[in-house]
Amino acid sequence: MKKFAVIQFPGSNCDRDLLNAALKAGAEAEFVDYRAASLAGYDGVLIPGGFSFGDYLRSGAMAAVAPVTKAIKEAAEAGKPVLGICNGFQILTEIGLLPGALIFNDQHTFISRDESLKIANSETLFTRGYGQGEDVVYPVAHGEGHYYCDDATYEKLKAHNQIVLTYNENPNGSRNDIAGIINERGNVLGMMPHPERALETLLGSDDGLKLFEEMTKWEANHVQIH
Amino acid sequence: MKKVELKVTLQQQVLDTQGEALNRAVHELGHDEISNIRVGKILYFDIDETEADNIDRIVKSLSERLFTNTVIETYEYTILDEVSE
């Protein structure tokens, strides 16, 4: 059975939702403290949303120099799946595992609502359960969700099919409606929307469950190199 | 021991939403002569070092690792007076 690490920073607040998502998808999952030096023994890493270190300096900036960051990079280098959601996405850009940056929403307000999204790449280890171009609903809840990158980075993202998730109605000014991107190797995914809050139809949508199920089914030899 | 003032600002092409909101507020206060407000931050710290080259190396290294995100921000620093001990 797959065992995932859910990283807990001071100020993480979606850690329990993420643990629950992994368990519901059939994986084992454990919380791992931000001071941990190693993630050996885990088959994947989940970086939760929230406000790590109170968003001091910039969102994700302090988490990027926390001890566990080195271990997250090692897991990514080893080809293990790494998923960062919301603040987790901000952290992945801060530590350089994903290109670009997240800046304040254009209207400078915090947005919390269900969001209609499109699966722009259904060939990743995370999204193989979805159809190409399929519409899904995940909640968003962020103040700094505007995905920013320069022209050269955007062209590279497009060329390597790294744009995985896009907004149908851009809520925050993100470049080309980008809601989630993956690294070139295809094992590190970051997104602003919250699939871990979309696991039950009773609570609005279960569109997020497949993402965790696919991550749980992942086998090392299936990692796609783009 | 020196005191350093480090100014961090968003790069020109990055939308500064705080600056935009302030621009609107200032115009509503009747000050149409003001425009292009950009908001940044200043860090002050003491450094136990007196050689300008060493200060430059340390400040640049920390600015690029932690104090700023060079994808969206730019920085400049000034060495202020000697810190009295």
Contact A214, A186 (CB under 8 A): no
What is the tens place of the pLDDT at every residue in A142-153?
A: 999 999 999 999
Distances (CA, A) of B18 to A29, A149, B9, B39, B85: 40, 19, 12, 7, 38
Domains of chain A (ranges plus CATH)? 3-222 (3.40.50.880)
Taking only Cα atoms into account, the Rg of chain B, rounded to an integer number of angstroms, comes to 16
Domains of chain B (ranges plus CATH)? 2-82 (3.30.1280.10)
Distance between CA atoms of residues B11 and B48, nearest Å: 30
Q: Mutate which of B15, B37, B70 to disrupt the A interface (most A C-beta within 10 Å)?
A: B15
Contact A61 B66 (CB under 8 A): yes
What is residue A225's predicted lDDT score, i.e. its pLDDT?
47
Task: Select from A34, A47, A192, A65 the least CA-distant residue to B69.
Answer: A65
Distances (CA, A) of B36 to A34, A157, A218, B24, B39: 40, 32, 50, 10, 10
What is residue B85's predicted lDDT score, i.e. its pLDDT?
60
Q: Is B49 exposed, middle or buried (0-12, 13-18, 19+ CB in 10 A)?
A: middle
What is residue B81's predicted lDDT score, i.e. its pLDDT?
79
pLDDT digit of tens for each residue in chain A (226 aa)?
999 999 999 999 999 999 999 999 999 999 999 999 999 999 999 999 999 999 999 999 999 999 999 999 999 999 999 999 999 999 999 999 999 999 999 999 999 999 999 999 999 999 999 999 999 999 999 999 999 999 999 999 999 999 999 999 999 999 999 999 999 999 999 999 999 999 999 988 999 999 999 999 988 655 554 4
Q: Chain A residues with CB-CB distance to B under 8 A?
A: 57-58, 61, 64-65, 93-94, 99-101, 103-108, 146, 148-149, 173
Contact A167, A174 (CB under 8 A): yes
Which of A93, A108, A149 is the closest to B17 by Cβ?
A108
CB pairs under 8 A between A and B: 37
What is the tens place of the pLDDT at every residue in A173-190?
A: 999 999 999 999 999 999
Distances (CA, A) of A112 to A17, A109, A115, A151: 16, 10, 9, 29
SS3 B45: strand
Strand order in the sheet with B2-10: B40-47, B2-10, B73-82
What is residue A222's predicted lDDT score, i.e. its pLDDT?
54
- DSSP-assigned letter for residue B67: I
